Structures are given as structure tokens and as C-alpha cells.
Structure 1
């Protein structure tokens, strides 16, 4: 049985964070303001989301559910764009990351709900929102990291890339090492998480299910499913965004067109 927490209980956790923040002030770490603002924002966001989800679950409205999913996807898409140091002058090209995010997470979520869990209808809010949220958050980070690394490396190695093109290499071959490094950067956090799951730490979904009274064995099955599907989503999303961004950097004559981008700011 799940033990319900009151706001007084939560205040204890809050005071612990304040204590660490005060210690950072004494050590002159210059992070106190950032920590407190981030913590306050987190609390307000989660309280708001909790009330919204409560209403969505009660209404059982397809339109309300679609609205929640759309908002979640838009915020994740925006985060991918704002994390980049370079943006394409052609605005539609900047949507490669968000489109890769939407396709990979929607496909994976549908497979999880329709083919694996097999609920009817497959878009029941109690299942769709949590699974979609986990897929979105992790895939967003993977795509953002991979794209940031890719564009940064292309900028640093422009001369080398153009030399390789001049020697007759194709754009795909000239960018092979950069593409490989960028995709690896995007998926390494997920690989690390899979490597220590259940040994160093219990993943969030599994912990929540166990606290709510679910059988540990059943919680483990759900967590394995989520981790495998999220890893697939990250891999598919990062490969897609790097592939299409690579194509956007070259013209029809296979020349590197770095002038198509501008630095952020």
C-alpha cells in the first residue's frame, strides 16, 4: 500500500536542499541561485502537471489527451533547438531534430501500448502519458547531445572535411568519423544507465511501481520493456537527425555549405 505524503513531509526534503544550498554559499560556489530557482520551478511544474493529469484521467477525453501529448512534444522539441550553438538559416531545416524526436517516440510508444502491453484502447492516459514522457525525455537528450556534438565537430574540422572532399571522398565518407562520434555521444548515457540498472540504482518507473505495491517481478518486467524501447527510440532518433542534418550541409555538387548555418545569438 502506498503511503501518502503531505506537504509537511515534502518540506523536510525541501529544507535538506536549502541546507546544501547554504553550504554552497559558504564555499562560494556561485550555484545557490541556480539550484533554488531550478528546484522551485520543478515543484511548480510538477504540481501543475499533477492537477492537469488528474483532470485528464477523470475526463477520459481523447482531445484533452492529444493536447497534453502535443504540449509535451513541443516543449521537448524546443529544448532540442535551444541547446544548439548553430542554427540553419533555412528555418525548416532546424525542424529535423524535432521531427526525428516525434517520429521515434510516437512509433515506440505505439508499439509498447498496442503490441506489447496490448491495452484497448491503446491510448489510455494512465499508460500513454507516462510511457510517452519517458521516451520523450530520454530521446530529447540523446538527439540534443548528438546534434550539438555533430555541428561542433563539423565546425572544428571544416578544413579537413573539404580536403577529403577535394581528394574524391563522398560527403558520407568525409563525415563518417564525426557521425559515428556524434551518435555515440547521444546514446552513451543510455548505455551507461542500462549497464548499472538494478545493480547500482533502481530505475524510476520500477521504484514507483514497487512503492505503489506492485510485485517486484512485474515491476522489473515493465522496467525492462521501457529501457529497451527508450534505447531503441534514442538510437533511431539520433541516427535520423544526424543522417538528415548531414545531407543539409551539402549542395547537389557535394560541396560543404557551412554558410547555411549561423552561430546562436
Structure 2
């Protein structure tokens, strides 16, 4: 079985469906017509640039270029984490937390996938490392953003309750216990929902792409199961690291609440 090549005309026909979104926005006066157009153009440009870059890196098959592109993806992830926060913690340490949590969890999951599970030769082949790392990083980023946003918003909202617990002798983690558990639940919910709905409600993008490319559905399902397990693990590590780190940054060594470290986005 071979896959069907798509022409630029086919992509243009598919883009016509965006008109429906524009009509909805215009009809309900949402004012999103410009945003829809910009988002679509941005997506096409970004994917085109990334596709050309990956084609170049795959042809070289050099570890240095793989590392450089991975760092570029991490830098983009750092920007996304910061931009998604309604209230963000000031200082470079907070940026390091928002970047480091998804990066290291994604890195560990990627190394485990390529060195243990899949085992390509060589294990650092960019054709395997970069796509897997991108999926790990993107999902861990979403979980990290949700946790950090939940922690900072709750710290402001529940300031009195947190300070009361601290005044009664509770440690920083004890005072943030309910807030931390709620934030961790929020950060993990998207991947848990995705796993529960996969196969019954929806076919994930990776599995669908492989099937359209001519891969046997059973083989495609195996890869999808592996990826979902890896994403769940990476997201779990990232949200826990982000949650615990947020508690440290929102308090000081004397276990006082430090809302002065927060700034409006």
C-alpha cells in the first residue's frame, strides 16, 4: 500500500474549510476573522520551515544538528510557557523552571524511547529523536503551563488561607497542599482525557498519519500506544517538578508567602 501524494492545490482546497470558521466569527461578531487568517498563515509558514529544516538535518544525520534543533524547540517552548501565564513569577529562576521541567522530562522520555523501546541504529538518529522529543516537549509544556498558572492564580486567590496555615506553623508544602494537588490534577487531566478517548472517540494524529501513509493499522496502533505512554510519563514528571518548584518560588526560606515575586502578564 502506498500513500497518496498531496499537491498544493489539494492543500488549497482543504484551506477552504477555514471559511466556515470565518463565517461563524462574522455571524456571531466574534472579531476573530483576522486571528483565524494570521493563525493559518503562521501555521503554514512554521510547518514549511520546520519541514525544510528537518529534511536538511535528516540528510546530514549529525548529532550536533540534532542537538541544536532540539535546543531551538526548547527555546520556543520557554516562550510559550511564559506567554501563557496570567501571573508569572519574576526572575530567571522562574524561567528556568518553566523551561527545565518540560525539557528534562521530554529528554528523559525521548532517550528511553530511542535507547530502550525502539532501539534504532544509531539510537540518536534525528529521524527518531526529533519527532519524539517534539511530542514529549509539547505535551509536557502544556501540563507545565497549566500547573504554573494554577499555582500562581490560587496563591493570589487563597492568600489568606495560605498565610493562616503558615502562621499556625505549617511548612510551605503543607500550606500549599490542596492547591498543589489541585494544580497537579489540572496539569495531568489533558493527557488522561486523551488516553481515555483515544481509539473510541478519536484517532490520534500520529496514528492517522501513519495509516494514510500506508502503514498497517495494527503497527500504527502499537506506535500510538507507545507514544501515549511516553507522553503520559513525561507530562507527569514535568507537572510534579513544576508544582514543587512553584511552591519554592512562591515562598522563601522562612516559609513566608511571597506574592511580591509575581507580576502581571
TM-score tier (shorter): over 0.9
| Mapped partners of 2:98, 2:28: distance in 1 | 40
Q: Give the SS at the match of 1:200.
A: coil
Q: Give the SS at the match of 2:263.
A: strand
- The residue number in structure 1 matching 2:128 is 127
Q: Give the SS at the match of 1:262.
A: strand
- The residue number in structure 1 matching 2:48 is 47
- The residue number in structure 2 matching 1:254 is 255
Does the Cα contact within 8 Å between 2:89 and 2:249 map onto a contact in 1? no
Q: 1:258 to 1:23 in 2, by over 3 A?
A: closer
Deviation (angstroms), 1:23? 4.2
Please show how residues 213-228 of structure 1 align to structure 2 within 5 Å.
213-228=214-229
| Mapped partners of 1:181, 1:51: distance in 2 | 42
| Mapped partners of 1:117, 1:91: distance in 2 | 36
User: Mind listing any 5+ residue stretches in structure 1 that lack a counterpart?
Assistant: none
2:70 aligned with 1:77, yes or no? no
| Mapped partners of 1:53, 1:227: distance in 2 | 23
- The residue number in structure 1 matching 2:190 is 189
- The residue number in structure 2 matching 1:140 is 141
- Flag as ranges the 4+ runs of structure 1 deviating above 4 A: none
Deviation (angstroms), 1:263? 2.2
Give the TM-score taking structure 2 as reference length. 0.96
Deviation (angstroms), 1:59? 1.6
Please show how residues 190-205 of structure 1 align to structure 2 within 5 Å.
190-205=191-206
| Mapped partners of 1:10, 1:140: distance in 2 | 29
Give the TM-score taking structure 1 as reference length. 0.96
- The residue number in structure 2 matching 1:34 is 35
Please show how residues 54-203 of structure 1 align to structure 2 within 5 Å.
54-203=55-204
| Mapped partners of 1:224, 1:93: distance in 2 | 33
- The residue number in structure 2 matching 1:211 is 212
Q: Give the SS at the match of 1:255.
A: coil
User: Mind listing any 5+ residue stretches in structure 2 that lack a counterpart?
Assistant: none
**Please, what is the CA RMSD of the aligned residues?**
1.3
| Mapped partners of 1:67, 1:18: distance in 2 | 38
Q: Deviations over 1:137-161 (max 9, x none)?
A: 1111110011101110011111110
Worse-superposed segment, 136-145 or 119-128: 119-128
Deviation (angstroms), 1:83? 1.3
Deviation (angstroms), 1:4? 0.3
| Mapped partners of 1:97, 1:110: distance in 2 | 21
Q: 1:120 to 1:256 in 2, by over 3 A?
A: same
Aligned length: 264
Deviation (angstroms), 1:110? 0.2
Does the Cα contact within 8 Å between 1:80 and 1:98 map onto a contact in 2? yes
Q: Give the SS at the match of 1:206.
A: helix
